[in-house]
Structure 1
Amino acid sequence: MVTEIELKYSLLESNELTTAKQIKTTIGQLLSEHELTFVHQEKQLSNHYYDTADLALRKSRIALRTRGTQCLGEAERFEQTIKTSGTIIAGLHQRPEYNVDIDDDKPIIALFPHSIWQPNTDISQLQQQIIELFSTNFTRHTWLVSLADAQVEIAFDCGEVACQGYTNKPRIYEIELELVSGDAQALFVLTKILFSQLALRPGQLTKAARGYALYRESQELSADIEKNATNDYAIVEQIALSMITIPKDLRLDAAFTHGIESSLTQLQRCVDSYVEAPLLIKLNKVSEFLVLLRQGFWLFSELLSEDEIMLRNELSYFIRTIHWVDNARYIESLNVKQSSYQKETLVNEELITKLQLDQNRYPREAQVLALLHSERFNNLQLDLLSLLLKRSSANSSNNQSDLSLIEFAAKHLTNSTEALSNELTQLQKPQDASTIELYLTAHSLLIRALLTTSWFSCLFAETDSDTVKRFNMPWLDIKQGISELQSLNLLQQQLVHLPNEEKKLTQWLVNKSENLITALDQSKAKALTMKPYWL
């Protein structure tokens, strides 16, 4: 048995610079420029994945694969592999695996060690039950790189995932860096070299996971259903908080790493989701998890080193870079919104025409994709992964607080909620400020309180608890209302700069804002009566 340690990245295919030939050339050039010794090889791999009809192996977190490998001028060689459950942290995959040479692409499971199976497993019966579910076929370019006292294999795979009789064949276009020997730090050094020239993003899903998803899709014939669901996703969104689940018995430093790991994993899944279908609502989720990550660095700042706090600044950079997405979504809603009042629909259309809202006012899809695959964004995620690995191996923090996790969480929940409540309680209309401006001022305190809830509410109630939902709902209503106020405010500012005065549209926006303020006042009154569930 060996434990596979590797980093997986998906490549962005955008233009002629990202063809397989160009990727191969770029990697060779980068290694040569850094004066690294390497051996290049090209081979064809055909992989067949097996399980029982009811996915018994999958349910036991076991993947069974046979692989045929053919190098130029050589006969094809076959190997069977079992991979058992492991860990995935921000694209770093660690899984125990067992490899056995075989004569063809048909597995013989009796050749594996009996210790990997559950007690009382009937190997002979299992052999009869396994069937091929899917296959992956690809060209693999490898570079075996020597770096200090370590060896790392860089693999560039280009091919497809397939199920027999199913026309949908997802593309394989990815890079893996596997530690062959030596210190795992060599993985990070080489990965940063690749970041400098290649458009990458961390891969959360293995080829096997993608294959299982394709197999389920082929069985359910749900491609059209999923496509329709994706289209609906652009318009409909459930108002809710993203919650982190933290075990109550963790120390503070462990709670921090647990929350960061969870948020980082969700961030990378959201990036994958946006790449698959570039919708503003999905980009908004990317922004949400960036903010959630940064909140962790604020909450646990007393435990962090100066270098770790610097990561908070990088998170802030990307939050600022895509802050426009809320306004873009509001303008998008004007384009798709069908009001029951014809007058409102006509006003929306007039706003779009007068302010040219249908034109590209925000970064284009290609620019967003470039950002999400950029060297700087990848370095941020790799640095977060390094932080997690470093803290996990250290086991404890030198700056551990005297408070228990429950006490620490209750303190932050109380402080953030009281600060927000005090701000809203004092929300009146002085002579030098409008109610709109005061609500906008309270927005940062509201976001901070909601993010603290996302981090800590699980310690006091179940994630889907009605108690938590009732407490959060008026605050979420205020959040949504303030977001709409911000967009209306922006539109009002843009109307001022038109060559001709637009009295009708201006008054319409003023009326909308006043109605929104009335609704916000009602939500505020309800929110201020809610009793904390953590006390």
Structure 2
Amino acid sequence: MDAEIELKLFMQSQHNDLLVKLLNGMSDSTPQNITSLTNKYFDTAKLQLRSWKMGLRIRKGENFTEQTIKTAGTVSGGIHSRPEYNVPLSQDKPELALFPKEVWPEEADIDALQAELTCVFETNFTRQAWHIYIEGSLVEVAFDVGKVIANGEVDPICEIEFELLAGETSALLHLAIEVAKHIPVRLGKASKAQRGYHLAGHLPAIALEQIDYICLPTDKSLSKTLEVLLETGIERWQVIEALLIDTNDIVQQAKLWSQLRACVRLLRLTLMQFGLLNSDVLTHFDVIEQKLQFIEPLQSLSLLLDEPQKLLGKRIDKTQIIPLVQQSVNELVLNQRLSCLWQLPEYGQLQLALVELLLKTANGSHQLVDYPELGLFANHLQQDSWQKIVDLMPISAAMDSLDYQQVAQGLDESILVGFAYGELYQSDDREAFRAPWQDLALGIQTLGCYQLLAKLTEQSEVDISDWLQDKEASLLFAMEHSRKSALNNQPYW
């Protein structure tokens, strides 16, 4: 048995030649043979192996055929660790009896399983590999280009795998970070097998788990809390990416983009709170935040597409207004594809920097001895966040629409602090305090919707300027009343 420890990165094919040149030119790099590999993955009609969290594959190269079974492993941030068993084979069909008996669950009937096996999907690719020594460790870098094939459907493969052959896991990250300095990459969450099962229609649709508040460690350890916050943010970031790829619904895309930005902001806040936000990582965050500015108008206009009756009421010209909004939203989404983000070198560099911090935290490399216990730490963060809101929108000030737009990010970040540490507090007091601020955040989006509607209808035959002014004035009146009441509420921490 081998314990496979690897880091996977996805990249775009226009950078293939640059990657090969980079890896060939690295010191202590030994190029390996370029091989064409065909891989058939097997399971039963009822996906018995999948239910046991096992994967069965036959791989064929020019001079070998082998069967591999991988058992349940772990993924932390982007590091995959999974036991695997490899056995040489002389035919194109698996022979389960060749694997050690301890591989199988006690209830497994190997003969029955063998009889029911069928090929579910294939992954065929060309692999170019290098052995690279770094920091006293040996890493195999495999660059795979090809395709996943299932049910007549094809999904392209263009990925880099860093597998630890000997030494420390940190070497995988340091080598990947070096690659990311030269080539735009992103973390690869889904294995080829997962992509194959998905393409074959044997995996349920990806779902983003609803989290009201992050589940913090029961021992209230600050180090473990940092680990949970980092892992939650990195994991959700990758899930949201996958959902954005698969989602065509515009309103749903707008919500996903908002949640992706929330992950990025939460991760930045977490690093800042724990004193881990250095200048390089801060620059990465700033570049990505700048690229995500389209989310504000997308959020605002999508409110109208999501609930037109609520925002437009009984206006008879809504059939003229909604197409204008739809066109604007479509343009925003089309001009801001994920591929644009993936071309930013800072995107992959930030993801890898976060995984490195997560690995160091899990290994106990961050000494947080000067921090108070978690409850006091959270109270301090909540108070600091609250004071910033008080300073941004003092109770004595009258705020107009522009004022609210300018404090939107500060309010969003304050709400995220409460999201991260909220489970430490009594729910009734917490929700009573947070509700008006969440309503204000929605109000700011709605104000943005009215302002964008005014611009969209300026050049059209629809004249709703007076109506929009009345709606905005009415909403501002309600928001001002809600804000001043909320500022008088007793904090729950």
Q: TM-score of the superposition, structure 2-length normalised?
A: 0.81
Change (3 A) 1:208 1:243: farther
- Verify: 1:175 aligned to 2:160, yes or no: yes
Change (3 A) 1:31 1:86: same
| Structure 1 position 265, deviation (Å) | 1.5
Q: Which of 196, 200, 218 in structure 1 is aligned with 2:185?
A: 200
CA contact (8 A) 1:140 1:155 kept: no
CA contact (8 A) 1:275 1:369 kept: no
Aligned position for 2:271: 297
CA contact (8 A) 2:303 2:446 kept: no
Aligned position for 2:22: 30
Aligned position for 1:389: 359
Q: How many Å separate the matches in 2 of 1:183 and 1:123? A: 38
Q: How many Å separate the matches in 2 of 1:272 and 1:36? A: 35
| Structure 1 position 468, deviation (Å) | 6.6
- Verify: 1:412 aligned to 2:381, yes or no: yes
Q: How many Å separate the matches in 2 of 1:95 and 1:125? A: 25
Q: How many Å separate the matches in 1 of 2:370 and 2:115? A: 53
Aligned position for 1:50: 42
Q: How many Å separate the matches in 2 of 1:362 and 1:83? A: 39
Aligned position for 2:259: 285
Q: How many Å separate the matches in 1 of 2:137 and 2:392? A: 56
Structure 2 counterparts to residues 38-117 of structure 1, below 5 A: 38-67=30-59, 69-71=60-62, 74=63, 77-117=64-104
Q: How many Å separate the matches in 2 of 1:139 and 1:323? A: 38
- Could you give the per-residue CA deviations for residues 308-346 of structure 1, whole angstroms, max 9, x where no partner exists? x75245323322331231113434666785745234527
Instruction: Give the SS at the match of 2:474.
Output: helix
Structure 2 counterparts to residues 108-147 of structure 1, below 5 A: 108-118=95-105, 120-125=106-111, 127-128=113-114, 130-132=116-118, 134-147=120-133
Aligned position for 1:478: 440
Change (3 A) 1:487 1:372: farther
Aligned position for 1:10: 10
Change (3 A) 1:41 1:469: farther
CA contact (8 A) 2:132 2:138 kept: yes
Q: Which of 232, 236, 241 in structure 2 is aligned with 1:271?
A: 241
CA contact (8 A) 1:53 1:129 kept: no
CA contact (8 A) 1:406 1:459 kept: yes
Q: Which amino acid aligns with 2:352?
A: L
Q: Which amino acid aligns with 2:2?
A: V
Overall identity of the aligned pairs, in %: 26
Aligned position for 2:475: 516
- Verify: 1:245 aligned to 2:215, yes or no: yes
**Higher mean Cα deviation, 415-424 or 200-209?**
415-424
Number of corresponding residues: 485
Instruction: Give the SS at the match of 2:217.
Output: coil
**Higher mean Cα deviation, 127-136 or 253-262?**
127-136
Q: Which of 255, 259, 263 in structure 1 is aligned with 2:229?
A: 259
Q: Which amino acid aligns with 2:367?
A: S
- Could you give the per-residue CA deviations for residues 65-121 of structure 1, whole angstroms, max 9, x where no partner exists? 332x222xx4xx222222222222333212122222222233333333333444x43
| Structure 1 position 198, deviation (Å) | 4.1
CA contact (8 A) 2:321 2:462 kept: no
- Could you give the per-residue CA deviations for residues 107-145 of structure 1, whole angstroms, max 9, x where no partner exists? 333333333444x43454564465235222312222223
Change (3 A) 1:442 1:139: closer
Q: Any unmatched runs of 5+ in structure 2?
A: none
Q: Which of 295, 315, 324 in structure 1 is aligned with 2:294?
A: 324
CA contact (8 A) 1:108 1:127 kept: no
CA contact (8 A) 1:62 1:85 kept: yes
Q: Any unmatched runs of 5+ in structure 1?
A: 221-225, 231-236
- Could you give the per-residue CA deviations for residues 439-464 of structure 1, whole angstroms, max 9, x where no partner exists? 44654553233111221123447xxx
Q: Which amino acid aligns with 1:210?
A: R
Q: Which of 168, 172, 197 in structure 2 is aligned with 1:212?
A: 197
Q: Which of 295, 298, 318 in structure 2 is aligned with 1:345?
A: 318
Change (3 A) 1:102 1:531: farther
**Higher mean Cα deviation, 438-447 or 255-264?**
438-447
| Structure 1 position 398, deviation (Å) | 4.5
CA contact (8 A) 1:136 1:161 kept: yes
Q: Which amino acid aligns with 2:198?
A: A
Aligned position for 2:144: 157
| Structure 1 position 290, deviation (Å) | 0.6
| Structure 1 position 522, deviation (Å) | 6.4
Q: TM-score of the superposition, structure 1-length normalised?
A: 0.76
